[in-house]
A and B are shown apart, each in its own frame.
Chain A
């Protein structure tokens, strides 16, 4: 008689939830972007040029003379003296061919393999001067490339924060739930104190107290770690709750009677039974991290320029002139929305699969 393991059961239940599968596919795709950032970008994200400032997204024309030859038109730009806006005009006589998997700036794929292949590339000229799939920002920097690198930063850093919260939450929640009594009460009070502290003052204080000579990314990393110290409370409560109820289950008593050590009980019996919940909760924590990052950049407390993240890009679009004149600067909101929705679907599916009853 063959018995499906718990994980297999979970997977079968999960597979049936179509929306969750779609969400998972999207999340995987985003993390592929994280890994392949250099491949997907075609321009340096910091190359500024005033004459390219605030270019709208450029259309790729797919056919030339009836054949499949993707190309873009060269652009001329000037500042209109009456409206004082920058105005661009494409020149249809100058076609610049766009190649897929063409050659661009060199980098190391996965940090190891030196290459210069990119998803999009232009021949014989610099991509910074000619290709603008999502337009440019105020300083003339290509938005597509910046968005790719922003995705890399935002998703990586958020994940680290979540991981730290996870460790702390499971540890403290487990101890609290398993031992009960005074230990439990003390930890519960600590949780309550942590939950009452508004995060914004904490961030401000910490952001200011960190040394001046740390790089921007290092500062944010430090702050994310510290914030995860507050975020663990939610996870700890869930873990504690589960431990409290599982403690009374028969299989634990059986294990105790069989003579298993405390540690063994916790690690090989209790943990697997709520691991699925933890995974689900973690997946649902990623959107919270993403929203925190964008909100804190908005308030000026998170990542700041010259770092590139979703929060930084959105913060630079958070003004009237972006809405009125250069709305493509708001495009970075799209991956934010998509990732959050996808993570939620994926987390929902995981949660349903782990405990449908």
Chain B
């Protein structure tokens, strides 16, 4: 067991390193650099930069050095725990991401909870009352979330909220709470703003989960031990919930791993449309602006999360299902 763990750890580190290199390369692929993006932005906003100023900035930020030199510079900083300065934000990368990170997690966790909270009961109901009206209805609603492009849904709901309910437009806080220090009132304000983003983010995953839950549960319900339990006179709810549901939940263990990077990055598109202060839009801006350290750090973070997530779900699977444990010993 220990040997296995150590082996996985080494592989994980190698993977993360490979990701960092790939990330840096990809970010550098578009021609130009941060300064080109800066010039473009200035021009589009009705201001202008002279060429000398642009060159001086390039020199100052080391952007005129070859890619591998910049990569090594970044790696040196990363290994010391300092992720560099985000050029557009003029703040340390760690601060910029940190500001948004926990809010991202709140939104993502809310979305995940909503998804599971909706999908599991509906999935169970669908399986138990197969082919009923309720079954079809539930599946249909799930599909809406899956099929409607999320950016469109977000805009439509945001506009509807404004037109019909005078709701706040986008964002996670009302005006007066954005910069205010934390308090019960601010937390409640956040809670009031969460349903819309969580709903849109969650709907897409809901359909999948409903179907998987339903399929797994159906499989389990056909097994002999369920018939035995019924014959023994156990109440229906116990028959379903005590064993079949738990077994049906097994496959979810393998998907938990991939939730981790999602929780960290949130959904870029929905966050963009709803103007949520999360990591997703931050990554997109950084990529467009070719803000190397910021973009590279976020991508690295996502990579690390994925690797950790995969590792955790493999462990979880092994723990839950003894068959896999023994198979691994081949």
Give the interface size class of chain B. 35 or more
Known interface pairs A193-B19, A196-B15, A336-B147. Does A201 touch B303 (Cβ–Cβ under 8 Å)?
no
| CB <8 Å contact, A320 and B159 | yes
**B268 shortest CB reach to chain A, Å:** 6
| CB <8 Å contact, A197 and B27 | no
B26 contacts A by Cβ under 8 Å: yes
Q: Which residues of A lie under 8 Å from residue B156 when comparing CB positions?
A: 323, 330
Give the interface size class of chain A. 35 or more
Most A C-beta atoms less than 10 A away, residue of B29, B149, B150: B149
Bound-state CA distance A344–B204 (Å) is: 13
Q: Which residues of B from 19 to 42 have beta carbons under 8 Å from A?
A: 19, 22-23, 26-31
| CB <8 Å contact, A295 and B30 | no
B152 contacts A by Cβ under 8 Å: yes
| CB <8 Å contact, B303 and A196 | yes
Bound-state CA distance A294–B284 (Å) is: 17
Select A209's contact among B29, B146, B149, B261, beta carbons within 8 Å. Answer: B29
B interface: dominant SS:
helix
A interface: dominant SS:
helix
Known interface pairs A193-B15, A202-B26, A208-B31. Does A340 touch B268 (Cβ–Cβ under 8 Å)?
no
| CB <8 Å contact, B19 and A337 | no
B211 contacts A by Cβ under 8 Å: yes
B283 contacts A by Cβ under 8 Å: yes
Bound-state CA distance A317–B23 (Å) is: 33
Bound-state CA distance A336–B148 (Å) is: 7
Select B26's contact among A201, A294, A319, A337, beta carbons within 8 Å. Answer: A201
| CB <8 Å contact, B268 and A318 | no
| CB <8 Å contact, B152 and A318 | yes
B86 contacts A by Cβ under 8 Å: no
A189 contacts B by Cβ under 8 Å: yes
| CB <8 Å contact, A192 and B26 | no
**A68 shortest CB reach to chain B, Å:** 36
| CB <8 Å contact, A198 and B147 | no
Known interface pairs A295-B269, A299-B269. Does A337 touch B148 (Cβ–Cβ under 8 Å)?
yes
Bound-state CA distance A1–B291 (Å) is: 71
| CB <8 Å contact, A340 and B287 | no
Most A C-beta atoms less than 10 A away, residue of B19, B26, B303: B26
Select A205's contact among B26, B144, B261, beta carbons within 8 Å. Answer: B26
B174 contacts A by Cβ under 8 Å: no
**A184 shortest CB reach to chain B, Å:** 11
Select B265's contact among A198, A206, A207, beta carbons within 8 Å. Answer: A198
Bound-state CA distance A338–B151 (Å) is: 17
Bound-state CA distance A295–B14 (Å) is: 32
Bound-state CA distance A291–B207 (Å) is: 15
The digit string for B265-303, where 1 denotes a CB below 8 A from any CB of A, is: 100110000000000000110011000000100010011
| CB <8 Å contact, B143 and A294 | no
Q: Which residue of B lies closest to A208 (CB)?
A: B30
**B225 shortest CB reach to chain A, Å:** 16
Q: Which residues of B lie under 8 Å from residue A337 when comparing CB positions?
A: 144, 147-148
The digit string for A15-27, where 1 denotes a CB below 8 A from any CB of B, is: 0000100000000
B70 contacts A by Cβ under 8 Å: no
Q: Which residue of B lies closest to A209 (CB)?
A: B29
Select A200's contact among B14, B155, B287, B306, beta carbons within 8 Å. Answer: B287
Known interface pairs A189-B11, A295-B269. Does A287 touch B30 (Cβ–Cβ under 8 Å)?
no
Q: Which residues of A lie under 8 Å from residue B30 when comparing CB positions?
A: 204-205, 207-209
**B79 shortest CB reach to chain A, Å:** 20
Q: Which residues of A lie under 8 Å from residue B72 when comparing CB positions?
A: none
Q: Which residues of A lie under 8 Å from residue B159 when comparing CB positions?
A: 320, 323-324
A341 contacts B by Cβ under 8 Å: yes
Q: Which residue of B lies closest to A317 (CB)?
A: B152
19 new A-B contacts, CB < 8 A, other than A192-B15, A200-B268, A341-B146, are A189-B14, A193-B18, A196-B261, A196-B303, A197-B23, A201-B283, A201-B299, A204-B287, A204-B288, A208-B29, A209-B29, A287-B147, A294-B149, A295-B149, A298-B149, A323-B156, A330-B152, A330-B156, A340-B143
